[in-house]
């Protein structure tokens, strides 16, 4: 047997599906509820494994979220592993989401992850569900797209907010071709610890013509991380035009309200850009 796919693992030590050393080269576990000890026991029996895919949602926080532990285990037990995809999540209500995200992602920023294997990861915190997520960038998962997440990339260590529209587009690539407003991510810049900005390239259509502009989303959190201040803006002829979107508590459900405000203020921003460009031409 070269490949194995499991949709549920509720096994104990005596009922693991692989009891002896196996020549298995591909293993996928879509609903993994094994604790780390049992999971390592299972994987230790597959030394020839080349491809591994694991999905484990809403589990207890354990060393499965520890990149250092994975690095040691893979080097010792899975020397032939070439492709590793995973999605892990756990629920925890906390105000220290920044600190937890940072501690998780740091363990996946070693030479082993970034250079030797080039398995790149992201970690995110979903404010609505109080869920921490950790995943490789090559995996695609289907989940709620109506929430706002605070995310960090192991590749460059930058933090950014992911909004509902962006998640919907990323989960369904066809949506990108249906919208009149098309965003392409440019970069994320980290400023002081409680200030963040995210730049997107916006293409819009007006009276049969295509226009492009860089839109910057500004996010500022208070010292306790409970209040988020949002704004959007763009630089025109060296002048930053910035429009506030309001202040929101992470305890409130502000997604729908923010979507409506964003749509309205984005139009106002585009109008302001047009007026500024028109004034500069006179």
Give the other-Cβ count within 10 Å of 148's Cβ.
22
Tens of pLDDT, residue by residue over 136-153, are: 998 886 665 567 788 888
Question: From CA 269, how far away is CA 240, in angstroms rounded?
Answer: 11
| CA separation, residue 217 to residues 86, 132, 204, 244, 266 (Å) | 29, 23, 17, 10, 11
Give the other-Cβ count within 10 Å of 232's Cβ.
21
Maximum CA pair distance of the chain? 81
pLDDT < 50: residue spans in the chain: 12-16, 165, 168, 171, 173-193
Give the pair of three-digit tokens for residue 260. Answer: 């409506």
| CA separation, residue 278 to residues 72, 172, 237 (Å) | 60, 37, 11
Question: From CA 150, how far away is CA 139, in angstroms rounded?
Answer: 19
pLDDT of residue 121: 95
pLDDT of residue 94: 83
């Amino acid at each position: 047997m070269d490949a194995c796919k499991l949709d549920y693992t509720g096994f104990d030590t005596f009922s693991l599906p692989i009891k002896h050393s196996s020549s298995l080269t591909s293993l996928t576990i879509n609903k993994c509820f094994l604790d780390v000890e049992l999971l390592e026991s299972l994987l230790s029996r597959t030394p020839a494994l080349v491809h591994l895919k694991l999905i484990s949602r809403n589990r207890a926080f354990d060393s499965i979220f520890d990149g250092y532990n994975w690095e040691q285990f893979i080097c010792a037990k899975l020397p032939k592993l070439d492709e590793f995809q995973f999605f892990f999540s756990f629920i925890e209500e906390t105000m220290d989401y920044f600190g937890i995200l940072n501690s998780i992602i740091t363990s996946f920023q070693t030479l082993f992850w970034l250079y030797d294997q080039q398995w790149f990861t992201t970690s995110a915190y979903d404010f609505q569900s109080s869920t921490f997520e950790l995943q490789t960038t090559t995996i695609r998962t289907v989940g709620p797209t109506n929430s706002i997440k605070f995310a960090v990339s192991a590749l460059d260590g930058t933090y950014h907010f992911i909004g509902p529209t962006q998640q919907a587009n990323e989960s369904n690539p066809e949506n990108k071709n249906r919208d009149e407003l098309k965003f392409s991510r440019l970069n994320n810049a980290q400023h002081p610890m409680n200030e963040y900005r995210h730049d997107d390239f916006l293409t819009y259509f007006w009276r049969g013509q295509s226009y492009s502009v860089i839109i910057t989303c500004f996010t500022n959190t208070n010292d306790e991380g409970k209040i988020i201040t949002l704004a959007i803006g763009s630089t025109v002829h060296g002048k930053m035009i910035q429009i506030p979107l309001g202040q929101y508590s992470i305890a409130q459900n502000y997604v729908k309200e923010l979507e409506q405000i964003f749509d309205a203020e984005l139009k106002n921003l585009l109008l302001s850009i047009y007026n500024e460009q028109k004034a500069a031409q006179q």
